[in-house]
């Protein structure tokens, strides 16, 4: 580090959680790669249209078409398919056709991913581990998708089994806290208090916490203290609010 700051390391990608709920996503192709792309964007609640001759659909894509999970156009791609589209995912075994689609997307300023052609991608798909609200993506910036999958699996094996459920409970507690302290100026205090809860409670405690526990815990937000789960479940939890001997904040 120079001057106490992290050095700039070029060549990376900006990894974001892209919110595409109700966005219009066009998938061109119906094979195995397209199937993976379709599942990814369906999991993000996008509105998906698949363009491909029906005889080019693999079993999974055909299932999603037949069950109405995606809209389907039974033919090869035409430029008019790009009308009113927010994102394009191309997965066809035709490099020239793929490049033409990429060029059209650039002309229309539509974000696009051309499978297996990193220079013709506005974004890459990484290898994702999912546990409820938790998503962890590993990206090799288009260099080695299989290696990304191996790294992702190694990371996943080291995660606690109940991490997804704990995150769901924390999310509910945060929403309740916003109702208790809705003012903008409360933001820093809300963040600090929630950080203390996450740091001092175990994952098992967070999973076990029910809505009654949350209501009692929120009673300690005002003085900025964080009792344990066991103490908020005792007969008189207020007696613990300011007892520094327990090491609370």
Catalytic position from the list 74, 86, 116, 205:
116
Give the pTM. 0.76
pLDDT the model gives residue 161: 85
Distances (CA, A) of 168 to 66, 173, 195, 235: 33, 9, 15, 27
Give the per-residue pLDDT at 248. 38
pLDDT at 4: 84
Fold of 24-125: Rossmann fold (3.40.50)
In this predicted structure, what is the pLDDT of residue 142? 77
In the chain (249 residues long), the average pLDDT of successive 10-residue segments reads 80 88 97 95 97 96 98 97 97 94 97 92 88 90 87 92 92 95 94 95 92 95 94 70 40
pLDDT for 237 equals: 53
Q: What is the pLDDT of residue 249?
A: 38
Residue 239: per-residue pLDDT:
56
Catalytic, 116? Answer yes
Report pLDDT for 238.
56
What is the pLDDT, as a whole number, of residue 240? Answer: 54
Residue extents of the structural domains in the chain: 24-125, 163-246
Element (H, E) at 192: helix 187-200
Phi, psi of 89 (to 5 degrees): -125, 120
pLDDT of residue 244: 40
């Amino acid at each position: 580090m120079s001057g106490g700051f992290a050095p700039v390391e070029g060549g990376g990608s900006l990894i974001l959680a892209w919110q595409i709920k109700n966005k219009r996503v066009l998938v061109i192709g119906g094979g195995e790669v397209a199937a993976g792309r379709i599942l990814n964007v369906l999991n993000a609640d996008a509105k998906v249209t698949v363009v491909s001759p029906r005889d080019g659909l693999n079993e999974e894509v055909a299932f999603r078409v037949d069950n109405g999970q995606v809209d389907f156009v039974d033919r090869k791609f035409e430029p008019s398919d790009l009308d009113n589209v927010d994102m394009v995912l191309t997965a066809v075994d035709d490099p020239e056709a793929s490049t033409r689609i990429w060029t059209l997307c650039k002309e229309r300023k539509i974000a696009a991913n051309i499978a297996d052609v990193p220079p013709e991608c506005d974004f890459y798909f990484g290898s994702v581990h999912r546990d409820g609200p938790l998503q962890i993506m590993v990206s090799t910036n288009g260099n080695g998708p299989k290696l990304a999958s191996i790294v992702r699996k190694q990371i996943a094996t080291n995660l606690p089994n109940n991490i997804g459920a704990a995150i769901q409970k924390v999310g509910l507690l945060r929403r309740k806290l916003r109702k208790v302290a809705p003012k903008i100026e409360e933001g820093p205090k809300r963040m600090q208090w929630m950080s203390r809860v996450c740091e001092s409670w175990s994952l098992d405690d967070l999973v076990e916490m029910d809505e009654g526990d949350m209501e009692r815990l929120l009673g300690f937000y005002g003085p900025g203290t964080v009792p344990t789960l066991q103490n908020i479940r005792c007969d008189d939890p207020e007696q613990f609010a300011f007892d520094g001997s327990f090491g609370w904040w």
